Structure formats: structure tokens, C-alpha cells
Structure 1
Amino acid sequence: MAHLVDSSVLVALFLDFDTQHAKAQRLWESLHGDILLPYCIATETATVLCYKHSKEQANQFLTFLDDTRDVTVIDGDIRAEMDFYRHSVARISFADAVLLFLARTRAAQLVTFDDQLERLWRAG
């Protein structure tokens, strides 16, 4: 099964001082198979790393994406994603809606530390 990874996990993985860093490391090491990363999550993660830590940290993340075989950055179908977001009743970010949409349409497992996003995904 493919995994869709949220920025909450990636930010924790790349920031040593994040309270969930060790948890993110264990989780990342436990993932097997394809890891899908929507383009919007890649940009969100790089932005958060840049502002919370440094541009260098954001660059390290982008290099990691280039160098990691199992990670595929995917472009979505923006029209379908916008339609999904417009019809969603939950008050969530557009990026979170993209994750939910892709998890459903690609039958992928969502990997997140965001409790609300996890609940929405499990609710189907």
C-alpha cells in the first residue's frame, strides 16, 4: 500500500528540536513501499522548515526528496482537488483536503500527526 505523508510528519522529521522528532524518525523508518508526496505538501514543508529553522534546512529537505528513491512527488488534478475542497464541510486547509482526496482516490494510507486530519481520513 502506498503512503501519503503530511507535512506534520516531515517537519518533525527534519527539526531535531520538534517535540515529535523521535516519533517521526521511528514512523519514517517503519514505512515500506511507495511514499507519495503531493506537490502542495512538499512546498508547505519546505516553507515551514525555512521559517521555523532556516533556508538551509529547507534545502536539505528538498535534497532529501531528490535523493530518496521511495518518495514520489506528485502533481494532482487541481480541478478535482478544488471541487473536493469546495464540497468538504470540514474547516481544513486546502493542503489537508488534497491529502484526503488523494488518500481516497489512490487508496493510500495517510501518515499524519494532525488529529483532525486523521479523524477525517478514518471517517472516510
Structure 2
Amino acid sequence: MDMEMQRFKAEFFKALAHPLRIRILEILAEGDKSVNEIQQLVETEGSTVSQQLTVLRAKNIVTGIKEGNRVIYSLRDPLIIELLDVAKKIFNNHLAETITMLDRLKDADKAE
């Protein structure tokens, strides 16, 4: 059972392993959107956005509901928003550590 969960997690994170998919999720965190709305916000071709949405749908990360002649996308689980927030905090922590290290190196160079 543990190996199944590890595979699930690996596949889940693979689906997130693209900057445009992350951007799409950030946009959907603000509310449901159509492909055209997402396309305008990311300033990318509709076909590219559709390809990335297909990946996210295949991994059950987003859902699409047909309304007339368009599909409205939403996050399947609102916990995705928390996951992205935690990832941002981790990035910021690493960035802060790097800045601190660079400051120390500058100080050491000045002392020499």
C-alpha cells in the first residue's frame, strides 16, 4: 500500500512539474475560469493552455464543466491552494537562506 501511495504522489507532483500548469492552478485558486479567460491571463495560445489543462484533468487536479459551448475549469480540491502556498514558503525560505549566505560571503570578502 505504501508503494501505491508513493506512486500516486510521484504522478501527482509530475503533473505539477510545469510552470504553466502551476500558473493555471494559481489562476484557478482565484476562481473558476474558461479556457479563454485562462489564456488571456497567462498570455499564451489557447492550444497550449488546453494541453496543460488536459494533463491537470487527467490527474484529477482540475475539473471541467461544460456550460454552453465553453468549459469552465475549477480546482478539484481546494487543498491545492494550500499546497501551492506551502511550496511558495519553502521557496522563500531557501531564497532567504541564499541571501544570508551571499551577505556573509560579501562581508568575508570585505574583511580580507
User: Structure 1 length normalisation: TM-score?
Assistant: 0.25
Structure with a larger share of its residues in helix: 2
Instruction: Select the structure with the greater relative contact order (CA < 8 A; seq sep ≥ 6).
Output: 1
User: Structure 2 length normalisation: TM-score?
Assistant: 0.26
Say which one has the larger Rg.
Answer: 2
